[in-house]
Structure 1
């Protein structure tokens, strides 16, 4: 019986990679995984999202568009649909189109707590234009004298190289106390 799942989550179309490694209880639903991804990546859950697993779409059915059905993510437990070595997609913010490739690294038979094991680089700020505008954002932060001052004020103290694992785990701890799984 699967009790834990270790996942590697990376933003696609970004170089160098922005990624996280997390250990999630296997009884979490896809809805719970959505909140885990939001917490460890640093997103603020301000936009629509969607999982695509084996060609099936999961999310919030009310968010369906284009007549393509979306299955309710809250009804699907990770242990029932994920297999070791499988890769699937999580899309966040359909306007910016942040695509997260998620690989199931391992499925464990020992209980474990929800936690972020590792990661690299900061998550882009919300509404920053998606992966194709991201290099412009990084350039502006690295060369502030040539960047628009209003844009820099909006970005704030964003450091693209910084990943705070302790903060990611604090955010996950807040999830477990709110029972969003």
Structure 2
């Protein structure tokens, strides 16, 4: 019989905020401190509501972590074998996560707390959040502002096409904690 997997003893409470969004778009998640940056990428994607369609990278102390792509000659370390607790120094530590280099969705991540793991909780878990994630490929934070103006102004020339693009409706204030946690449960 294989040995039982050692339960994580420390949890990081992270606040993930989408830079430039006014009003703020953010998620508060708790994650095992020993996850890889690759797993953290998946957690951010699901917690925020992105679809993992684009390149990404973490910037920690000026070092870039992500999926190395030798064909582009980028100086980026693999996120697959670097654990969060190897690069995060503790509470109040800040770092960046950039998703979709074209649109430039920059996320600021703050380690709010370092907590003992609760054996009754399955990590990762989202404990709070505010507002909907912008639609993929809407052009970054500036494009998102233009998208919102178009869908909220019935006589805007792009009103109908933008609504059609998001299947008829989009509520920028909507955040569903239960759905977010359902998405996070799919991460192994």
- Give structure 1 regions of 4+ aligned residues with deviation exceeding 2 angstroms: 109-113, 144-147
Distance in 2, matches of 1:162 and 1:63, equals 39
Deviation at 1:27, TM superposition (A): 1.5
Residue 170 of structure 2 is aligned with which of 148, 153, 158? 158
Deviation at 1:158, TM superposition (A): 1.5
Deviation at 1:155, TM superposition (A): 2.4
Is the counterpart of residue 120 in structure 1 residue 130 in structure 2? Answer: yes
Distance in 1, matches of 2:64 and 2:71, equals 9
Structure with bigger helix share is 1
CA contact (8 A) 1:144 1:152 kept: no
Aligned to 1:80: 86
| RMSD between superposed Cα atoms in Å | 1.6
Looking at CA atoms only, which structure, 1 or 2, has the larger radius of gyration? Answer: 2
When normalised by structure 2's length, the TM-score is: 0.87
CA contact (8 A) 1:64 1:70 kept: no
Query: How many pairs does the alignment contain?
Result: 175
Unaligned segments of structure 2, at least 5 residues: 1-7
Q: Secondary structure at the match of 1:135?
A: helix
Distance in 1, matches of 2:71 and 2:132, equals 30
Q: Secondary structure at the match of 1:99?
A: strand
Check 1:97–1:64 CA distance in 2 against 1; reply closer, same or farther (3 A cut): farther
Deviation at 1:64, TM superposition (A): 7.5
CA contact (8 A) 1:39 1:171 kept: yes
Aligned to 2:14: 7
When normalised by structure 1's length, the TM-score is: 0.91
Unaligned segments of structure 1, at least 5 residues: none
Distance in 2, matches of 1:12 and 1:72, equals 24
